[in-house]
A = this chain, B = another copy of it.
Amino acid sequence: MDFTPSPRTQQYLERIRAFIRDHILPVEEQHFREVSARRHGADWTQWAVSPAVEALKARARAEGLWNLFLPDAELGAGLSTVEYAPLAEEMGRSFLAPEVFNCNAPDTGNMEVLWKYGTAEQKERWLKPLLAGELRSAFCMTEPDVASSDATNMRATAVVEGDEIVLNGKKWWTTGLGHPKCKVAIFMGLTDPKADRHHQHSMVLVPLDAPGVSIQRMLPVFGEYDEPYGHGEVWFENVRVPKANFIVGPGKGFEIAQGRLGPGRIHHCMRCIGAAERALQLLIERGIARVAFGKPLVNLGGNRERIADLRIAIDQARLLTLFAAWKLDDVGALGALSEISAIKVVAPNVLQQVVDEAIQIHGGAGVSSDVPLTALFAQARALRLADGPDAVHRGVIAKLELSKYHHLMKQHRSQGE
């Protein structure tokens, strides 16, 4: 249970911090102002790759600050989850940083899946350009017509017909789908309804230009379309791809998903913590700078108590996430199930709470776009739903907690459930 950043982590941490400070933050605000000024709104067909971001990516890659999330020592940096976690936190302080370092969701998860499970051909065609930052990818899981928190509700199908897989279904909240370079999606669908509960679904690679794939629209999050990434609704109608596009094989969807989600959730949560630190910093700086009733706001009413509570909440969230990361490294995603669900509840809620207080201390500016607080709020609020809503994760934790009492449960079973 050692969370001390390793010397390699420490060194990367300093370089990333410097890079963000020196190269990203100075252009970030202007970048988003320009994107906003274009007023493309939902019209993703107008979205373009930003030359500024591409330049930052090139620089990061040249400096070796690239693919740090990937445990592979050659393709990535060979860091364990607990080693990478502090880097994800640092990247979470900036909206652009994750992509600049080629460490953004959902590409990281997709790359991990291809790295772990992909065939040589799949790796050559998709993983290589993804690792090079030349492509972007999407992950098609959530569906608009059912409560996707219950995976068995999934209606999309990936049926084998001869040498092909036929895909049908509607997906939404497919992040990154609007990006001009987004060319491929991992699609999850029902293949064999007769198999046992955990072997019915498959993951399939789908080029987005395949006939039958139609992007319906981009969805806003609290009014923002997150140009040029976007969160899309996409329909699949009799889309045909070769059987070679299965990842691992038919019925392996859940198994892969389980492995994919563990590290991804750690990354999300550590970025949340970085974002929360940024929000707390904004809160305090504003609270020192603004004066009312003869005192800086930080010295009024319960503001110091609130700062203390937020500091405590952030530190606890970080420790819990590092603990989950350590356990994931130590015993695997299945053994760390309860802890991973715990951070998935805790980290976005802490971020939401910090941002809400930061907004309050900023007054009107807090809800405007003069400070990035509403964007941080949207990040937190959306993450309380993405990758499983809070309620589902609480359910997992409770189930595992109660399983410690299975003898007692069995003894009382006759009394109904």
Given contacts A304-B395, A412-B296, A416-B295, contact A385 B366 (CB under 8 A): yes
User: Any chain B CB within 8 A of the CB of A153?
Assistant: yes
Q: How far is A358 from B3 in the complex, measured between Cα atoms in Å? A: 33
**In the assembled complex, how far is the CB of residue A350 from the closest CB belonging to chain B, in whole angstroms?**
10
A345 and B415 form a contact (CB under 8 A): no
Stretch of A21-29, A127-135, A244-252, A305-313 with 4 or more beta carbons under 8 angstroms from chain B: A305-313
Report the Cα distance A30→B142, complex, angstroms.
26
Q: Is A397's CB within 8 Å of the partner chain B?
A: yes
Answer whether residue A79 sits at the interface, using C-beta atoms and an 8 A cutoff.
Answer: no
Chain A positions 354 through 392: 1 when the CB is less than 8 Å from some CB of chain B, otherwise 0: 000001100111111110001001100110111001110
Interface segment among A69-77, A104-112, A286-294: the answer is A286-294
Assess whether A55 is interfacial by the CB under 8 Å rule. no
CB atoms of B153 and A398 under 8 A apart = no
Cβ contacts under 8 Å, A2 to chain B: 1-4
Residues of B within 8 A of A374 (CB): 220, 222-223
Is A124 at the interface (CB under 8 A from chain B)? no
Chain B residues near A142 (CB-CB < 8 A): 363-364
Q: Tell me if A195 counts as interface (CB < 8 A to partner B).
A: no
Q: Does A39 contact B (CB under 8 A)?
A: yes
Contact (A307, B222) CB under 8 Å given A360-B389, A416-B291: no
A235 to chain B, nearest CB (A): 16
* A-B contact list, 25 entries, CB within 8 Å: A2-B3, A2-B4, A3-B3, A36-B41, A39-B41, A144-B365, A146-B291, A147-B292, A147-B363, A173-B364, A285-B408, A291-B412, A299-B417, A301-B391, A302-B391, A304-B399, A305-B394, A308-B341, A308-B393, A308-B398, A315-B342, A316-B317, A316-B346, A319-B319, A360-B389
Residues of chain A whose beta carbon lies under 8 Å from any beta carbon of chain B: 1-4, 36, 39-41, 43, 142, 144, 146-150, 153, 172-173, 219-224, 231, 284-285, 288-309, 311-312, 315-317, 319-320, 323, 338-339, 341-342, 345-346, 359-360, 363-370, 374, 377-378, 381-382, 384-386, 389-391, 393-399, 401-402, 405, 408-409, 412, 415-417
Given A296-B415, A305-B394: 14 more A-B contacts, CB < 8 Å: A2-B4, A220-B367, A223-B369, A284-B402, A295-B416, A302-B391, A308-B341, A308-B342, A308-B398, A309-B394, A315-B320, A316-B317, A316-B346, A360-B389
